[in-house]
Chains A and B, each alone.
Chain A
Amino acid sequence: MIMDHILEMKDIWIEGFSEEKWIPIVKGISLYLKKGEVLGLIGESGAGKSTLGLSSMFYARPGCRIVSGSIVFDGKELFGASDEAMREIRGVRIAYVAQSAAASFNPAHRLIKQYAETPVTHGLMHFSEAEKNAVEIYRSLLLPDPEGIGYRYPHQVSGGQLQRAMVAMAMACHPDIIVFDEPTTALDVTTQIEVLAAIKQISKEFDTAAIYITHDLAVVAQLADRIMVLRYGDLVEENYTREMLANPKEHYTRELLSVRALREDRDLTGVRDDVVLKVENVSASYSGKEEVLKDIDLEIRRARTVALVGESGSGKSTLARVITGLLPPFKGKILYEGEELRPALKSRDREMLRRMQMIYQMPDTALNPKQKVRSVIGRPLDFYFGMKGSEREKRIVELLEMIELSPRKYIDRFSTELSGGEKQRICIARALAAKPDLIICDEVTSALDQLVAKGILKLLQDLQNELEVTYLFITHDLATVKVISDEIVVMLHGRIVEKGAKKKVLDPPYHEYTELLLSSVPQMDPDWLENLLKKREAEGKGYHG
């Protein structure tokens, strides 16, 4: 073992139990980690990156087992170590930061109590000492009010703060290694920056080595010294960050790098441009007190893609609910092709409902797990057009072909037998079955892997060119917006702050908030984060949450 390697894993094989047999999920990957080094593990879901990351502390999730390999940490072999021996290492010398802080904190205890749990139970320090250390670490993590924040409950701090509080927990025992498992994936771009900056700060300050697991190459480029690209449990490519970004060797890596390419403006001459949907002066609220939407004015023209952008809580999904009639507004009106729509879903007629369809963020919950593809797509055909028997069957096959899934293979499957991308395609087919004019897409790609999302976006565009459908595309991801939209509407705190053609919104001069959003999208440039932080500091705009 080379002296400055704090961790050295050789030929790791990990299996997962599925369909009554053990299937390899990590196939003989080796990795090493130097003291103070940050290693990025990147890959799509199912690549085995989390499983490999967790195996660094000789831990396998339930349903998985580490079959063979060698895990040498600080000169000690961990493979086959007893639970007692591992207890001394896990959380103390190798710590773990999970993806969803909101789900990982116990809502019944204050942050500080959860922070202190590991060091106190391991007998490393007294509670009062841990309390004092916590303030130091909270401060290094740039949390607001470091003296007081520990005494709050998890629901009293924001998502980005909670994620940083979890990083602080991992730091409590000053571990040699921290395993970060997608710590920013669930966060907005502006919040993500806070967490990335904090992670960068502590890894520098405490010289902690880290394994950073993510599916986002641009994110890992900001933090990692070295990157390993994984796919289907195999190592695709390993290189130093700058070299990999400058000169990717494998086709797969290049594909990951190319995803964020900007699409040219579409030529829309000759396409009809009558207004399909008009939102006039709409205000809405859930409780009757607080207005979630304030004076929204919006026009959507036919065969265009209007992207509705904003962070979580900006009211963009609420606007979709108002348009669909799930949440009647208390002020203002919605016009569909010049005709005023009834505010409540119940009072709209079937023909109206048919013309406006919706596609959801999570294809897993948007499809009834007990229905087969045939009835999922067939129901709108029957419901809206009264199609039966062979006529209906024929149309289902057509729709499946349209979404590029082989009808013979998929028509009799349950939605649980499909992958995430396939499910989303079925959702698209269900919407298309109604022959709608307007499809509202609510974050349709954010739950999908990069390459799968790319395929879905392409499909949506092709369908638009072919069928002249109109999209209202709700998203928080500016990269997606750049790819798909013709017009952009930016929302903040329930108001529209900017709207216009894509070019106008995305080119300078920017609206202040649009600029903040745009500059927060991670770029492939490894110096991006540092430069951005310097620039914002110089301008006196903090990124404190």
Chain B
Amino acid sequence: MSFIKSLRKIPLGARIGLFIILLNITAALLAPVVSPYGETDIVADVWLQPSAHHWLGTDQLGRDIYTRMLYGARNTIFIALVTTMLSFLTGSIFGFLGATVGGWVDQLLSRIVDILMAIPMLIFALMVLAIAGTSIPVTIVVIALLDCTRVYRLARAVAMDIVVMEFVEAARLRGEGIWWLIRREILPNSMAPLIAEFGMRFCFVFLFIADLSFLGLGIQPPTADWGGMVRENAGAITFGILTPLWPAAAIAFLTVGVNLVVDWYLDLTSGLRDYS
């Protein structure tokens, strides 16, 4: 009962956001079940208009767009999620470590991050991917490492404010180790900004993967992903065909959805309201 009650309290915007996210997750999970064709099957003529057989039409090779959208959700969201999680894991651990230990450890980590951040992210990623190849694991690691610099900055700044609090000093005086300080004293108190940032970063990473795919260095064909689909079908625009707009719309849709939920979460945690 109380769960339903608390659901009712969620504002409209957040409900829409949650709905969008759930829709995307369901689509990603059920892709093989609900899609009418195979991911890479060429089933009809090139660039067909939407019809009863092909709900969203076909692409530049005659593959069903609806099918590829479902599989694209799977690939794009999965990769973005793993990348963001990896980025948060490394970024926040090093950020907390820098803030808690201080001294030369903090200096070293921060200067490395400064150097990485000084190089434009897209260009750096293009360079590394061009050298290391464009497999999915490499893409994930490269983007996560580049992105974790931003997370590092945030985690360090948030932790800086927490480590000077007396409860952290009390734990230090008790003789607690660094790992306890990070895990039990700092992490629970920096969850709010980190989760909010997670939502934002997820969108950025998601768009970044789409960018890379659009430039041909992200997820490689014939694997379906939304950014790549926009690029492959970009030419159709000149013929007045809507095909590239479907994946583009999906990207926009999910980004908006995630942000709506993040806004709600920020609103929930910024005030004095009890959310525990």
Which A residues form the contact surface with B (CB < 8 A)? 19, 324-326, 345, 348, 350, 353-354, 357-358, 360, 362, 365-371, 379-380, 383, 414, 416, 430, 434
Contacts and interface: CB of A to CB of B under 8 A. Distances in A.
A367 B167 contact: yes
Nearest to B169: A326
A434 B276 CA distance: 29
Given A369-B189, A370-B189, A324 B167 contact: no
Interface string B226-269: 00000000000000000000000000000000000000000000
A136 B172 CA distance: 52
Given A365-B165, A365-B167, A366-B166, A326 B176 contact: no
Contacts of B276: 370, 414
A348 B175 CA distance: 9
Q: Is the interface of A mostly helix, strand, loop or mixed?
A: mixed
Interface in B160-199: 165-167, 169-170, 172-176, 184-185, 188-189
B175 A368 contact: no
A358 B173 CA distance: 8
A379 B174 contact: yes
B173 A353 contact: yes
Given A369-B189, A370-B188, A370-B189, A383 B169 contact: no
A326 B170 contact: no
B22 to A, nearest CB: 27
B173 A326 contact: yes
Given A365-B165, A365-B167, A414-B276, A345 B188 contact: no
Interface string B140-178: 000000000000000000000000011101101111100
Given A350-B175, A368-B185, A370-B276, 14 more contacts: A325-B173, A326-B172, A345-B173, A348-B175, A353-B175, A358-B173, A360-B166, A360-B169, A368-B167, A371-B184, A383-B174, A414-B276, A416-B274, A434-B174
A276 to B, nearest CB: 17
Contacts of B188: 368, 370-371
A326 B276 CA distance: 33
Contact of B170 (A345, A366, A414): A366
Nearest to B165: A365
A144 to B, nearest CB: 34
Top-7 shortest CB links A-B: A370-B188, A366-B166, A353-B175, A368-B167, A360-B166, A365-B166, A365-B165
Contacts of B165: 365
Nearest to B189: A370
B166 to A, nearest CB: 4
Contacts of B185: 368
A156 to B, nearest CB: 25
21 contacts: A324-B173, A326-B173, A345-B172, A350-B175, A353-B173, A353-B174, A357-B173, A358-B173, A365-B167, A366-B166, A366-B167, A368-B167, A368-B184, A368-B185, A369-B189, A370-B189, A371-B188, A383-B174, A383-B175, A416-B274, A434-B174
Interface in B189-227: 189
A417 to B, nearest CB: 8
Contacts of A358: 170, 173
B189 A368 contact: yes
Most chain B beta carbons < 10 A, residue from A19, A345, A370, A371: A370
Contacts of A367: 167
Contacts of A345: 172-173
Nearest to B190: A370
Contacts of B184: 368, 371
Most chain A beta carbons < 10 A, residue from B165, B175, B184: B175
Interface string B98-134: 0000000000000000000000000000000000000
B92 to A, nearest CB: 16
Nearest to A433: B174
Contacts of A362: 166
A359 to B, nearest CB: 9
Contacts of B167: 365-368
A324 B172 CA distance: 10
B176 A383 contact: yes
A357 B274 CA distance: 31
